[in-house]
Amino acid sequence: MALEITFLGTGSAFPSPERGASALVLRREGQCWLFDCGEGTQTQLMRSHLRAARITKIFITHLHGDHFFGLPGLLCTLSLQSSPDGSQAPVDIYGPLGLRSFLWRSLELSHSQLLFPYTVHELVPTRDQCPAEEFKDFSGLDRGEALPQGPPGRVLHLDPGEDSYLLLEDEQLVVRAFRLFHRVPSFGFVLEEKPRPGKLNVQKLKDLG
């Protein structure tokens, strides 16, 4: 399995002409997986050899602006490059609780109509992921409000046995999130390649001694 990483931004707090805000792309079998989407990420993509239209999954580590303020704009750009025939698979977005509401409200308030579907899978943090005075419980966000156009997706809780969150699994790899300690609840992501047992030609080995 070939993996290629491209750093689009390594700056923090605010973008600069020399360094974009946090964003990197993992390219895997023709797909692009984006990790964080700071302000200006779509511009950085245009300067790279990557095609934004190949982004199929987005992972947001935490809800500080320099890690996700570029997301609504990127989604709108992807929409402009999409065909309205409804055949495109959803873009899966993973991130902390509260991300679904942020995206829905940003797109709703800006009258942005995306031409492709997207899903938001929210990770429910634990209270020990940040200083107690900084923790905000977003579990009741938008409760009681009708979100007719809100994106679908799962709400993922910590698996105590694995001490992680299972995000996705296919025949080649497993992707999990794990908790990080920061000023706000934060997550790291692990891509673990599954063992690929080879096949031995026993007779050929015997012939070769």
Looking at the annotation, which residues are catalytic?
66
Closest listed residue to residue 57, CA positions, set 81, 34, 37: 34
The amino acid that residue 133 corresponds to is E
User: Which DSSP letter does residue 41 get?
Assistant: H
Q: Rounded to an integer, what is the distance from CA 157 to the centroid of its chain?
A: 17
Q: For residues 93-130, b (16+ Cβ closer than 10 Å) or e, as one string?
A: bbbbbbbbbbbbebbeeeeeebebebebbbbebeeebb
48 close to 27: Cβ distance less than 8 angstroms: no
Residue 182 sits at the vertex; the CA angle it makes with 38 and 33, to the nearest 5 degrees, is 40
